[in-house]
Amino acid sequence: MTITNTWAISNLDRNVADGKITTIHWTLNSTDGTYSAGCYGSIGVDGDVTIAYKDLTADTVIGWVKDHFGTEKVTEIEQAMADQLEQQRAPKTAAGVPW
């Protein structure tokens, strides 16, 4: 089973006066071709952004998100999505009532 993980930026909050990014809103969507799982989060941005707002690209900002988390945490988040896909493929728990 191959899992495709797609990181994306859903929004950026910024100061209008100076264009500095204050918050990055990110998503991760994972699929194995049959099932899908996703998560969303946001991170505050500290420090100076050296790229003008108009020149930012999704790849650049996704890189900032991954750098913020570090390799270990990125792997952990992607594994959590893989675990959700596995739960969908082979449920170990269920909810509901018998009537």
User: How many Å apart are CA 11 and CA 31, to the nearest integer?
Assistant: 22
First to last CA, the chain: 36
- Angle at the Cα of 69 (from 18 to 22), degrees rounded to 5? 15
Question: Rounded to two decimals, what is the model's pTM?
Answer: 0.88
| Span 34-85, pLDDT tens digits | 999 999 999 998 876 678 888 899 999 999 999 999 999 999 999 999 999 9
- Do the Cβ atoms of 17 and 37 come closer than 8 Å? no
- Positive or negative, the CA dihedral 81, 83, 84, 89 is positive
